Chains A and B, each alone.
Chain A
């Protein structure tokens, strides 16, 4: 009980594990490319939460700086991925990733 009421490192790690699990689940099970992108964002957020939690309980600034860079790179990734998805939609009239099989024989 005492472990439940005193917020520590494990609480943050648990939330982050759930976010990672849901993100992976979305990436594996969805056909819509935009929902897959949302899953990737969830995974990046989980990593960020882990970095900040370890940074807080270690007392250093490394995790904070890492999470700042992760946010920047996530923004770049989302912009590029959406540009690619819009191009795919122009070509195939769909964002269903299992219908994009031009390379298949």
Chain B
């Protein structure tokens, strides 16, 4: 792949990510936000591939698109009446929101583009990293791995317990 094609494809996915994220925030319809989030997650997964983190990209698609987005859509369907399709979510604090948005982006971009001290790539990641992830998970990160698995189990049981339909009444 030539360098120019690489750049064009990168900008395509970057634009997809940023514009669909903007649409998530700017549209008033909750359902449209959820579906626009789908494109954001896919764009981010594509950017992960550019960062040579192919395993993370696949995980992103499986967990975010297959899990979290479906959960969010369920939440939208549960909490808004389907009979009322023009469901709008109200907006408030527009001015503080805009100030925070502009402030955060301005500060971060100013810092990024004025910092010369980023470490130069001595040896950037290349190729597939699946094998290295496996080694790291089972050697250096085995304790966090087990802890996070227990945390996930506990939180999923807790979520199912919290959201269950209470038949017996109070």
Asked if residues B141 and A65 are in contact (CB atoms below 8 Å), the reply is yes
Number of interface residues of B (CB under 8 A): 83
Asked if residues B18 and A52 are in contact (CB atoms below 8 Å), the reply is no
Cβ contact of A35, chosen from B68, B89, B152, cutoff 8 A: B89
Known pairs A17-B108, A42-B40; A76 contacts B63 (CB<8 A): no
Residues on the A chain within 8 Å of B124, using CB:
56-59
Asked if residues B101 and A22 are in contact (CB atoms below 8 Å), the reply is yes
Residues 46-60 of A, flagged 1 when their CB comes within 8 A of B and 0 if not, give: 001100110111110
Report whether over half of chain B's contact residues are helix, strand or loop; otherwise say mixed.
helix
Instruction: For the complex, give the distance between the alpha carbons of A19 and B94 in Å.
Output: 18
- Minimum C-beta distance from A2 to chain B (A): 11
Instruction: For the complex, give the distance between the alpha carbons of A56 and B53 in Å.
Output: 8
Residues on the A chain within 8 Å of B89, using CB:
30-32, 35
B1 an interface residue at 8 Å Cβ cutoff? no
Report whether over half of chain A's contact residues are helix, strand or loop; otherwise say mixed.
helix
Instruction: For the complex, give the distance between the alpha carbons of A57 and B25 in Å.
Output: 31
Instruction: For the complex, give the distance between the alpha carbons of A14 and B72 in Å.
Output: 27
Asked if residues A64 and B162 are in contact (CB atoms below 8 Å), the reply is no
List residues 60-82 of chain B with CB under 8 A from any CB of chain A: 60, 63-64, 67-68, 71-72, 74-76, 78-79
- Minimum C-beta distance from B30 to chain A (A): 6
Asked if residues B75 and A86 are in contact (CB atoms below 8 Å), the reply is yes
Residues on the A chain within 8 Å of B71, using CB:
78-79, 82
Instruction: For the complex, give the distance between the alpha carbons of A79 and B44 in Å.
Output: 21
Asked if residues A52 and B101 are in contact (CB atoms below 8 Å), the reply is no
Residues on the B chain within 8 Å of A10, using CB:
112-113
Number of interface residues of A (CB under 8 A): 68
List residues 121-156 of chain B with CB under 8 A from any CB of chain A: 121-125, 129, 132-133, 136-137, 141, 144, 148-149, 151-152, 155-156
Asked if residues B96 and A71 are in contact (CB atoms below 8 Å), the reply is no
Residues on the A chain within 8 Å of B148, using CB:
69, 72-73
Asked if residues B90 and A61 are in contact (CB atoms below 8 Å), the reply is no
Who on chain A is nearest to B107 by CB? A17
Measuring CB to CB, which residues of chain B are less than 8 angstroms from any residue of chain A? Answer: 3-4, 6-7, 10, 14, 17-18, 21-22, 24-25, 30, 33-34, 37, 40-41, 44, 47-48, 50-53, 55-56, 59-60, 63-64, 67-68, 71-72, 74-76, 78-79, 89-94, 96-98, 100-102, 104-105, 108-109, 112-113, 118-119, 121-125, 129, 132-133, 136-137, 141, 144, 148-149, 151-152, 155-156, 158-160, 162-163
The 8 closest A-B pairs by CB, nearest first: A32-B89, A83-B162, A29-B97, A76-B155, A83-B163, A17-B108, A79-B159, A83-B159
